[in-house]
């Protein structure tokens, strides 16, 4: 099973940059998109409902903002939109596809970079989502949670870690939240199971030639149930083309 995750930073923008022809060449079983920035009524059948895929969108109520999507080769048994709290779900940040005992989720965790108000919203989301993850980690389902988590976990996960310790995305509280998530042995960072190398980034600022200099952050993850750890067979970050300020994260699983 191949799963691709990408923050598209606008699905219509990604389409203009050639995302969909590339996507079709990957023969992925599931594609998880974040930050679609579109209402489903604004998307035509072709290319935004690609052939050979069952397509599901969970839009933000605000136009041109947030939104997540799932494209699945196999018809899911069930689709769940949202995490059950109206202020979070109004922003279109979570969609889950269930296949038997396996759930695949596209997640767009809030950013706090615009100021204190949104950082507090992010902390509130983290608190609520931690309870959900704890609950999910204890049930008998397997999960693959893909998306833009808007947190770089460790110093290896961003180029300028020393200068970003007071910035949203690398705050001590955010990193501690990730520490707690992985410490419980319920969840695993799938990419790091098979790739321990430095300078493995998935997002680059549009400022200061960050892309050209590879001054990036690894804030896009596929976080999986611990029971799936031995099923991870490969991981890569696609950088030959640019569809967004993020790069596609590709994971292969022996499922």
pLDDT at position 233, please?
A: 98
Confidence band for 159, pLDDT divided at 50, 70 and 90 = very high
Q: Indicate whether 185 pLDDT > 90.
A: no
pLDDT at position 44, please?
A: 86
Average pLDDT for residues 205-221, to the nearest whole number?
A: 96
Average pLDDT for residues 94-104, to the nearest whole number?
A: 98
Q: Which of 35, 38, 30, 37 is nearest to 3 (CA)?
A: 30
Question: In the predicted model, what is the mean pLDDT of the chain?
Answer: 97
For 218, phi and psi rounded to 5 degrees?
-100, 95
pLDDT at position 45, please?
A: 83
Question: Which tokens in the block code for residue 209?
Answer: 């030639």
Q: Which of 51, 65, 249 is nearest to 144 (CA)?
A: 249
For 179, phi and psi rounded to 5 degrees?
-55, -45
Phi/psi class of residue 98: alpha, beta or left (left: φ > 0; alpha: ψ in -120 to 50)? beta
Average pLDDT for residues 65-70, to the nearest whole number?
A: 98
State the first-to-last Cα distance of the chain, in angstroms, to the nearest integer. 6
pLDDT at position 184, please?
A: 82
Q: Indicate whether 174 pLDDT > 90.
A: yes
The answer to whether the beta carbons of residues 212 and 179 sit under 8 Å apart is no
Catalytic residue among 148, 157, 189, 252: 148
Q: At what angle do helices 116-138 and 172-183 cross, to 10 degrees?
A: 0
pTM score above 0.85: yes
Other C-beta atoms within 10 Å of 117: how many?
Answer: 9
For 249, phi and psi rounded to 5 degrees?
-105, 120
Q: Indicate whether 69 pLDDT > 90.
A: yes
Q: What share of the chain is helix, strand, coil (3-state, %, to 5)?
A: 30, 30, 40
| Secondary structure (3-state) at 93 | coil
H or E stretch covering 192: helix 190-194
Domain 2-253 has CATH 3.60.10.10: yes
Bridge pairing between strands 187-189 and 142-148: unpaired
Other C-beta atoms within 10 Å of 155: how many?
Answer: 15
Average pLDDT for residues 156-165, to the nearest whole number?
A: 97
| DSSP-derived secondary structure letter, 212 | H
Is-catalytic flag, 148?
A: yes
């Amino acid at each position: 099973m191949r799963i691709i995750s990408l923050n598209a930073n606008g699905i219509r923008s990604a389409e203009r940059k050639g995302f969909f022809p590339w996507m079709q060449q990957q023969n992925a079983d599931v594609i998880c998109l974040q930050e679609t920035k579109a209402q489903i009524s604004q998307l035509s059948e072709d290319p935004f409902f690609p052939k050979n895929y069952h397509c599901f969108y969970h839009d933000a109520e605000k136009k041109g903002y947030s939104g997540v999507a799932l494209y699945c080769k196999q018809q899911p048994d069930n689709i769940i939109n949202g995490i059950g709290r109206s202020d979070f779900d109004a922003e279109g940040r979570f969609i889950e596809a269930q296949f038997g005992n396996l759930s695949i989720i596209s997640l767009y965790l809030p950013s706090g970079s615009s100021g204190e108000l949104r950082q507090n919203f992010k902390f509130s989301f983290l608190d609520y989502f931690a309870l959900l993850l704890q609950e999910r980690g204890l049930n008998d389902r397997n999960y693959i949670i893909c998306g833009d988590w808007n947190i770089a976990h460790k110093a290896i996960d961003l180029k300028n870690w020393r200068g970003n310790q007071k910035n949203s995305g690398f705050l001590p509280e955010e990193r501690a939240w990730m520490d707690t998530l992985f410490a419980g042995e319920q969840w695993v960072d799938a990419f790091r199971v098979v790739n321990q190398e430095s300078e493995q980034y998935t997002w680059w600022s549009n400022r200061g030639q960050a892309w050209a200099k590879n001054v990036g952050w690894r804030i896009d993850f596929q976080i999986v149930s611990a029971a799936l750890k031995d099923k991870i067979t490969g991981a890569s970050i696609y950088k030959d083309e640019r569809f967004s300020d993020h790069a596609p994260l590709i994971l292969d699983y022996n499922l």
